[in-house]
Amino acid sequence: MHELGIVFYVVDEIEKVAKEKGATKVLGATLELGEVSSVIPSYFMELWEWTIKKHEMLVDCKLDLVTMKAISYCTECKKTYGTVEFGKTCPNCGSVKTYLVTGNQINLKNIKV
Ligand SMILES: [Zn+2]
């Protein structure tokens, strides 16, 4: 049910932005999904289609999902690397003193009204 909460959040955000713009209809939106955000895109889209039917403003809204690469940073060698490929271990020096810089967030990029 993780995805459903995010769908509701995104719907709220889009409606808020649309109202600020004085729009009555939203035609499209772009959502950035981090690679390690734990959202399954196909499942997310299914819930999205189901949810927007109940929101008059969004019935025609086409959602584009854009995947954002997950990047980790190594505090030992001060380099970044792809999190999905290497996990918590730095491929440059083998250190595990690494942390995720980007890739677990969900951003509403833009909306078309
Ligand atoms: Zn390193």
pLDDT in tens, 82-106: 999 999 999 999 999 999 999 999 9
CA of 78 to the centre of ligand 1 (A): 6
CA-nearest of 42, 43, 41, 38 to 100 is 38
pLDDT of 38 reads 84
What tokens appear for 70 in the block? 């997950």
CA of 80 to the centre of ligand 1 (A): 8
CA of 37 to the centre of ligand 1 (A): 23
pLDDT in tens, 8-58: 999 999 999 999 999 999 999 999 999 999 888 899 999 999 999 999 999
Structural domains of the chain ordered from first start = 2-69+103-112 (3.30.2320.50)
